[in-house]
Structure 1
Amino acid sequence: MPRPRRDSEILPAKDRMENAFWELLANREYHKITVTDVVREAGVNRNSFYYHYSGLPELADSAIMHIVHNASPTLPTPGSDPDATWRENMTNLLQSPEHRERLDRLALIAGPHSSPELVDSLRDFGRLTIINSLQLPDKLDLQTDLMLDFTIGGMITVLSRWPQLRDSVTLDDLLDEDVAVLAMSLYLSLSRTDLIGYWHRIFRNNLLAAEAAQ
């Protein structure tokens, strides 16, 4: 006689439907996915689906929002070393199966099975997450707003190429000085931290290292 399953072993219906959405999107175009497909994949009934969601677009928004929120990187704290934070984030990204799964799923939104609506949703949630994480004001000045759009656009471009990169990119690639400096510069520019001081420190350390090598 099979052992009864404990409640803790069964994912809530919303989690199962979001997982079903990602599984289906990996195998077919978004506009070809139906509510029937979702409930069948998730093992729930249609009443359960419509109890939680008004339709497939709301499910998609919920799935994207949760992935973006859970994939948010650790941000440097006042007085911390942004380089160390970058190394911590990149190490977690490549060595944590959970982080890689989130990245794989986000890449689906920038992939061939997606739609303009899904990309817009990813862009909106990405912007909101960065604004909240950096505690930016509700009304952004033009420079910050443009930098935010530039950052989100770059992230979506990287996600579109992730299927080709995921098996070849290494930790050393992501810890390359040029990559790290670019990423930290974007962060510092958005957070209005002492960007000039950061650059002065980078150049001073590089100069000292060059002099020591002579």
Structure 2
Amino acid sequence: MSRPRRDSAVPPARERMQDAFWKLLADREYRRITVTDIVRSAQVNRNSFYYHFSGLPELADAAILAEVQSSPLVHDAPNPDVDPQEHWRAHITHFMRTPRERERIDRLALLAGPHSSPELVESLHDFARLSLIGTLELDSDHLDLKTDLLLDFTAGGLLSILKRWPELRETISMDDLLNDDVAMLAMGIYMSMSKENMLAYWNRIFNKG
């Protein structure tokens, strides 16, 4: 198969293979997906697959990392000078009203669904944790115990939400997500990892209004 022209509307082979991974994972268990399935769905040849990836696990990791790294909820560091409720409102409004972001959640939710595997779940957890560390400009080799626990707690919470996303997306509303208590909890956990002294921050939230 010839390579697409630079001005072609056809996505690059690597992107097509990552898209094929998500499409196939929605249809069948990860352990039943083969390289042959990927190249057929992506309309590339096996040489192209092995040029980009050593095998299916590397493709899966690349697909997961691409979704996690481009997520604004993980990649945007919170501003301590901005009202946490306003910050949360802006993020959630963007997420719920942008088709690409809803697609991203749907894709990541597959990793916590019945077609997933322990390896995929571990990759999602690790990539989410690493992305948070990078966003908050933390030193991964020198994390204090509180921050280390909060990172695991946050990554685990994301997995729990994604596991129930097929159910939540049919019932949850913007009002639910913009609830003051939800905003306080979400931003409080996030900010806790980026500030050494949280007392003033928590007092500002609890004494607001």
Structure 2 length as normaliser, TM-score?
0.92
Decide which moves more: 79-88 or 143-152: 79-88
Q: What amino acid sits opposite 1:178 in the alignment?
A: D
Superimposed CA distance per residue, residues 49-108 of structure 1 (whole angstroms, 9 cap, x where no aligned partner): 000000000000000000001113233224222221111111011100010000000000
Identity of paired residues, percent?
A: 57
Match of 1:29 in 2: 29
Pick from 87, 103, 106 the counterpart of residue 104 of structure 1. Answer: 106
Q: CA deviation at 1:177?
A: 1.2
Q: In 2, Cα distance between the equivalents of 1:33 and 1:7?
A: 31
Matched letter for residue 94 of structure 1: M
1:137 aligns with 2:139: yes
Contact 1:18 1:59 in 2 (8 A): yes
Give, in whole Å, the separation in 2 of the partners of 1:204 and 1:23: 47
Equivalent residue, structure 1, for 2:128? 126
User: How is 1:1-214 mapped onto 2 (pairs within 5 angstroms)?
Assistant: 7-73=7-73, 74-138=76-140, 139-192=142-195, 194-206=197-209
Aligned with 2:124: secondary structure? helix
Q: Work out whether residues 134 and 191 of structure 1, in 8 Å CA contact, stay in contact via their aligned partners in 2.
A: yes
CA distance in 1, matches of 2:128, 2:72: 9
Larger mean Cα displacement after TM superposition, 73-82 or 151-160:
73-82
Read off the aligned partner of 1:179 and give its amino acid letter: V
The number of residue pairs the alignment matches comes to 202
Partner of 1:211: none
* Cα deviation, residue 19, structure 1: 0.2
Task: Tell me by how many angstroms 1:168 deviates.
Answer: 1.6
Q: Over the residues paired in the alignment, what is the CA RMSD in angstroms?
A: 1.4
Check 1:194–1:142 CA distance in 2 against 1; reply closer, same or farther (3 A cut): closer
Give the stretch that moved more between structures: 89-98 or 76-85. 76-85
AA partner of residue 117 (structure 1): E
SS state at 2:138 partner: coil
Offset of residue 8 of structure 1: 3.0
- How big is the shift at 1:202? 2.4
Distance 1:7 1:30 in 2: 34
After superposition, give the CA deviation of every residue in 1:23-74 in whole Å (9 maximum; x if it has no partner).
0000100000000000000000000000000000000000000000111323
Is the 8 Å Cα contact of residues 75 and 85 (structure 1) preserved in structure 2?
Answer: no
| Mapped partners of 2:36, 2:11: distance in 1 | 19
Q: Secondary structure at the match of 1:110?
A: coil
